[in-house]
Amino acid sequence: MALYGAMLVLLLPLVAGLIIGLAGSQLREKSYRIGVPAVVLAFIGGVWTLYTVSVDGPIHIALYQRTPAAQNWLQFALYIDRLSAVMMVLITGVSSIIHLYSIRYLQQDRGYARFYALLGLITFALLSLVASANLFMLFVFWQLMSWLLYLLLAYNYTHPPAVNAAFKTWIVLRLGDVAFLGGVLLAYSVYGTLEFPLLFERAAESSATLPLWPGSGMEISTVTAITLLLFVGAMAKSAQLPLHVWLPDTMDTPTPVSALMHAGIVNAGGFLINRLAPLYGLTPGTLHVVFVIGALTAILGASMMLTQNDIKKMLGFSTIGQMGYMIMECGLGAFALAIFHLIAHGIFKASFFLYAGNVIHVARRTPKLPPTRNADQDVEPSRLPWFTGITMTLALPLVILLIAHGVLQVPLRDAQGAVILLFFAWVTSSQAILSLYRLRAVESWKVVGAMVLTLLLVVFTYLWAVEAFTYFLYPAPGEAARYFQAAAWNPWLFDLFVILVTLLIGGGWAVAYTNIRGQRILMSAWVSASAPRLYLFIWNRLYIDALYARFGQAIIRLARRMDARLPEWLP
Amino acid sequence: MAAVKELIVDPVLTLTAIPLLGAGIGVLLWSRPRTLKAWALFLTAALVVVAVTAGTADGDAAIAPLSWLLILASFLAVFGQDPYMEAPSSIVLTLLFLGLSLGTLASGGALGIIFFSVMLGVIGLAMVWHGRTTSPMVWGAVALCGIGVLCLVASLAASGSVAVVLRLVAFATALPLFPLHGVFVGALSHLPGSLPAFLAVALPSLGVHGVVSISAAVPAGILPSLLLLALIGALYGSLKALVQCHLGQMVAYLAVTLLAIPWWHMAVTAGKMPQAAGYVSAVAVAMGGLLLAGHFVQARYGHLDLDKLRGLARPMPRFATLFGLLIMAAMGLPLFGVFSAFMAMMFSSSTTLPQSIVVILLVWFMASWLLVMLMQRILFGQPRPDLLYRDLSQTEVLSLVLVLCLLALGGIVPAGLFQLGDPAALSFLEVNR
């Protein structure tokens, strides 16, 4: 029964997509009558599958297998464990909302049926991807997802910016696909299998290395090479630096596509790393690279967001930053935390996108200037909430850490994972407190109470959710701890990093708290002078887009020059 | 008398003679294109039956799939041929080349070489007849046809490694390998009507059949050179495709790029290329489908200039859907034969991954880039207001759907069907012994 249920979750969107695709010219604006029930039923099936899997354990369904042993790469099978089931619920849930939202959003649109067909097919591709039992099948749906996303982005194909953005997306995603294929081929050539359990087992036993360059004498561990290649694929899908360039330009697509993309498709990278956690857990080198890429993306993505003046582009860059955050968590070995983050981000970003249209619509109807500051209120800082905010965000966490370390003798130096979790909880709660302070900074014990409650609520919810998720997704004893250990840094480097980031965040908040109230921190002239340049640099997206464009033009110039210099009779 | 009777009932010769005779009768119907098309369709459909019978009776499993593929390709090319656009020459030449191709495949030995030489010669003549005024490139292609014919004839007199190398050069004109790819490019871009769609399948099929048949005897010393030429050819093809503004030429250079991969495969597996035939067939069918779709466009608007064609998706939705699916198949996306065969080839050569695989992956990426670019140039954008657009007719839709079915079938057929892995079973090798 569970097998049929799981199969149904996958097949319903596929069948709906195919029916709408084939009979689109007859169905036209009635297409949703097939698409919506199918995906809602798939969502119900997904929830039921999650329950079944949680209670009875993983489901394995063999679909197709090539008989000769020499072709054991060609196998199609479903493996639905808790991770897959959680992702299935997220995908079908977001897809259901988007299906429902699009009923009226795209009414009277020429491509109504095409849109619903593609939506059904991409939902199927996503579901199959998360339910894949081997790397080959995962790669098949990984590629199909790139192509279907391209088609969805080129929905307004008569509109040149939409077409250009779709093409850019395709090129970047295809680059990731090629690297992914390199990883798959290497994995098969070294381990002789692509089935997940066997692959993990053989990788753990193997100590094979590869020469970095023939004759150079430098070698790289095979598992590091494989995970790095696969990670390039994840970078492309999850818009990580420097492969993030496709995401911010895709705003010409219909809003529901943006919502699906930001809530579902960009999560593929995080899912891939989680699915291959046992493989990534074998290679600290790759995890460190993952961390660095994620951290850079989080910082620069958020910075680029701050320079945008278009609401949808802001959301786009915000997604890049959040994905960077999620990938960074993977790089720290906090795989379950990344999944929690991915789900939370998916839900809130989808709702942001679906609401963005309303905001834009209202803004167009009532044009006005940005609200002016009330000088009387701004100049005088409200001491009580200011003091509470500073204490809660900066002093209290340090006190807790000192008590834990000094009094309770918790070995924090040896438990980087615990520090990381506390760190994330601290950053999140402080962000919430800062938002409260910006919203209402009046002398009131109610505001102070709200701040304190926020801190407690966020920290405890966060820790509970992470703990629950970790236990739920990685129930094997010691598994999650092993990943933290694999990702562990050199202790002095870790301490240095924590201190630096703490200072950076603390300094940033000090500036933010004072700036909000109209005050300024004294800075040297060169810092003030470099600020506009830095702003321009970030506003121009670090010139990465321009660099890629130049590279593409250089290839075309090379081809033209070569063609012009060859004799005309030479084919 | 018994020998004559045996000759008549010989399925191999029957398979070869029917299209050649059909082409002869087709010349008589030159002034009646519709009748000629009906005749050619009847003939190719009948050939399918004969091929199945001959394949079963003969028991030569290695060449049967390629023969079926050629017959199906010829049927589709004739089926999709516009009755008013260069139809007589296209249909007659399709039948003629079908006969010669089947003769090459089925007869083997010296006779096979002769059939193949004649085919190259006729391609050269057809290019002179049809394309001499359109591009100076035709003369380069004709010269390469001449080189191919000379090599084949010389190989009949030579022996040992020399004969093998001479044949390899000749086959490299059909399964395009830099710098001998001109015949292939010229045939696909300068021959009339839907004939290029057939030749896109026929030439690589004959080429891979020939190459596999002599692959075991190829001297190890020339494998590095082959590897280098394959890599250069793949990059050269993709760069050339990037600057083309003619659909036929762009598809031809894309095919040169994608068909360099089997040569690379042969070089890195030291002549063992069992999966190459499946890949070549799949790429050839995909390229043939694109050229057939191009023929439909040319029949409507009189040209295939990519700078003047744009925005076909809105006024021609059926064409757009089918063209999009063909592009998807050609660039090696899942569900279609090119993907399956590419994967089979890559996995079969992946016991020790060579460094040059990086170039092959880069080529694969470039092909995706170029094919999507081609699709966007034709389909996307605003339609031209000065053109009267007309979507595909049912016949045209059916022919492209059949091509797609063939490609989808290629994605699920057993890999062994196109496996030309046992060179001893193949005919060209007989001459080498």
What pLDDT sits at residue A513? 65
Residues of B in contact with A147 (CB under 8 A): 328, 333
Residues B44, B390: Cα–Cα separation, whole Å: 29
Query: Is B373 within 8 Å of A167 when comparing Cβ atoms?
Result: yes
Quick check: B300 pLDDT over 60? yes
Among the residue ranges A64-68, A146-150, A274-278, the one predicted with the least confidence is: A64-68
CB contact B344 to A (< 8 Å): yes
What's chain B's average pLDDT? Answer: 84
| Contact yes or no for B353 and A185 at CB 8 A | yes
* Residue A104: burial class (beta carbons within 10 Å; 0-12, 13-18, 19+): exposed
d(CA B31, CA B28): 8
Evaluate whether A45 touches A67 at the Cβ level (below 8 Å).
no
Closest to B202 (Cα-Cα) out of B87, B281, B110: B281
Overall average pLDDT of the A358-386 stretch: 64
Confidence band, pLDDT 50/70/90 cuts, at residue A355 = confident
**Mean pLDDT within B315-332:** 92
Which of B186, B333, B379 lies nearest to residue A157, judging by beta carbons? B379
Q: Chain A contact for B223, CB < 8 A?
A: no
Helix count (H) and strand count (E) of chain B? 19, 0
Of B135, B372, B381, the CB nearest to A158: B381
Q: What is the ipTM of this complex?
A: 0.88
Q: Which residues of A touch B (CB under 8 A)?
A: 66, 70-71, 73-74, 136, 140-141, 143-144, 147, 150-151, 154, 157-158, 160, 163, 167, 170-171, 174-175, 178, 181-182, 185-186, 188-189, 214, 555-556, 558-560, 562-563, 568-571
| pLDDT computed for residue A367 by the predictor | 62
Whether B202 contacts B120, CB under 8 Å: no
User: Inter-chain contact B380–A559, Cβ cutoff 8 Å?
Assistant: no
Q: Is the pLDDT assigned to residue B201 strictly greater than 90?
A: yes
Q: Is the peptide bond before B219 cis (omega within 30 degrees of 0)?
A: no
**Eight-state DSSP code of residue A111:** T
Most A-contacting residue of B133, B350, B366, B413 (CB-CB within 10 A), to test interface: B350
Checking if the pLDDT of B420 tops 70, the result is no
Mean pLDDT of all residues belonging to chain A: 83
d(CA B45, CA B43): 5
At A10-37, the pLDDT tens digits run: 999 999 999 998 887 888 888 888 989 9
- Tell whether the torsion through CA atoms of B283, B289, B290 and B291 is positive or negative: positive
Contacts of B429 (CB under 8 A, 6+ apart): B213, B214, B216, B217, B423
CB contact under 8 A, B380 and A158: yes
Considering only CB atoms, which chain B residues are within 8 Å of A163? 376, 380-381
Give dist(CA B53, CA B12) in Å, integer.
10
Least CB–CB distance from A559: residue in B242, B348, B415:
B242
Q: Do B334 and A140 lie within an 8 Å CB cutoff?
A: yes
CB within 8 Å: A157 and B185? no
Residue B148 contacts A where some CB pair is shorter than 8 Å: no
To the nearest whole angstrom, how far is the Cα of A347 from the nearest Cα of chain B? 30
8 A C-beta contact, residue B177 and residue B151: no
Lowest model confidence (mean pLDDT) among A236-245, A391-400, B287-296, B355-364: A391-400
Query: For the segment A39-48, what is each residue's pLDDT rounded down to a tens digit?
Result: 999 999 999 9
Residue A553: Cβ within 10 Å count: 10
Q: Which residue of B has its CA nearest to A190?
A: B351
Under DSSP, the state recorded for A490 is P
More confident residue, A90 or A379: A90
CB contact under 8 A, A158 and B137: no
Q: B 49-108 residues with CB below 8 A of A? A: none
Nearest to A167 among B181, B350, B372 (CB): B372
Asked whether B142 and A571 are in contact (CB, 8 A), the reply is no
Instruction: Determine whether the interchain pair A181/B364 forms a contact, defined as Cβ–Cβ distance below 8 Å.
Output: yes
Residue among A185, A105, A115 at smallest CA distance from A155: A115
Residue B341: closest C-alpha in chain A: A74
Residue B380 and residue A157: Cβ atoms within 8 Å?
Answer: yes
Q: At B259, is the pLDDT very low, low, confident or very high (cuts 50, 70, 90)?
A: very high
CB B210 within 8 A of CB B116: yes
Quick one: closest CA in B to A141, which residue?
B334
Confidence (pLDDT) at A371? 59
* Gap from B380 CA to chain A (nearest CA, Å): 5
pLDDT tens, residue by residue, A519-565: 666 667 777 788 888 889 988 888 999 999 999 999 999 999 998 88
Are the Cβ atoms of B242 and A555 closer than 8 angstroms? Answer: yes
Work out the pLDDT band at B422, boundaries 50, 70, 90.
very low
A569/B137 touch (CB, cutoff 8 Å), yes or no: yes
Number of A:B CB contacts under 8 A? 107
Inter-chain CB proximity B380 and A163 less than 8 Å = yes
> Each residue of B204-226: pLDDT tens digit?
999 998 888 888 888 888 888 99
A248-253: average pLDDT: 83
Crossing angle between the packed helical segments A222-237 and A268-275, to the nearest 10 degrees: 160
E strands in A58-200: 59-65, 75-80
Cβ distance A569 to B243 less than 8 Å, yes or no, reads no
Minimal CA separation from B248 to chain A, in Å: 13
Q: For B355, which of A73, A175, A214 is closest by C-beta distance?
A: A214
Nearest CA-CA distance, residue B351 and chain A, Å: 5
Evaluate the CA torsion angle B344, B349, B353, B354 in order and state its sign.
negative
Mean of the pLDDT values across residues A231-252?
Answer: 90
Residues of chain A found within 8 Å of residue B334, distances taken between Cβ atoms: 140-141, 143-144
- A384 falls in which pLDDT band (50, 70, 90)? confident
Under 8 Å between Cβ of B264 and B360:
yes
pLDDT of residue B427: 37
Cα distance from A170 to chain B (closest Cα, Å)?
8
All residues of chain B having their beta carbon less than 8 Å from the beta carbon of residue A570 are 137, 140, 182
Contact list in B for residue A563 (CB cut-off 8 A) is 239-240, 243
pLDDT for residue A405: 60
State the nearest Cα–Cα gap between A143 and chain B, in angstroms: 7
Q: Which of A446-460, A499-513, B157-171 has the highest mean pLDDT?
A: B157-171
B408 close to A (CB below 8 A) = no
Q: Do A147 and B333 touch (CB under 8 A)?
A: yes
Do A291 and A229 form a contact (C-beta atoms < 8 A)? Answer: no
Lowest mean pLDDT among A66-70, A235-239, B73-77, B305-309: A66-70
Q: Which tokens is A398 given? A: 């340090």
Residue type at A532 in one-letter notation: P
In this complex, which of A143, A167, A189 lies closest to B333 when CB atoms are compared?
A143
**Among candidates A178, A563, A571 on the partner chain, residue whose Cβ is nearest the Cβ of B182:** A571
Phi-psi region of A543 (alpha: psi -120 to 50; beta: other; left: phi over 0): left
Q: Is the Cβ of B235 closer than 8 Å to some Cβ of chain A?
A: no
* Contact: A185, B350; criterion CB under 8 Å: yes
Of B334, B348, B365, the CB nearest to A175: B365
What pLDDT is stored for residue B301 in this prediction? Answer: 83
pLDDT of residue A175 exceeding 90, the answer is: yes
* pLDDT confidence of residue A412: 60
Q: What are phi and psi of A369, to 5 degrees?
A: -80, 165
Helix, strand, coil % in chain A, rounded to nearest 5: 75, 5, 20
Q: How confident is the model at residue A105 (pLDDT cuts 50, 70, 90)?
A: confident
Q: Please report the sign of the dihedral spanned by the C-alpha atoms of residue A314, residue A318, residue A319, residue A320.
A: positive
**Average pLDDT for B2-6:** 53
pTM above 0.90, yes or no: no
Q: Tell whether B145 lies on the interface with A, counting CB pairs under 8 A.
A: no
Q: Is the pLDDT of residue B431 over 50?
A: no
B314 near A CB under 8 A: yes
Q: Is the CB of residue A463 less than 8 Å from the CB of residue A434? A: no
Q: Which of B343, B364, B384, B397 to mutate to test the interface with A (most CBs of A within 10 A)?
A: B343
**In the structure encoding, which two tokens stand for residue A456, read together?**
């407690």
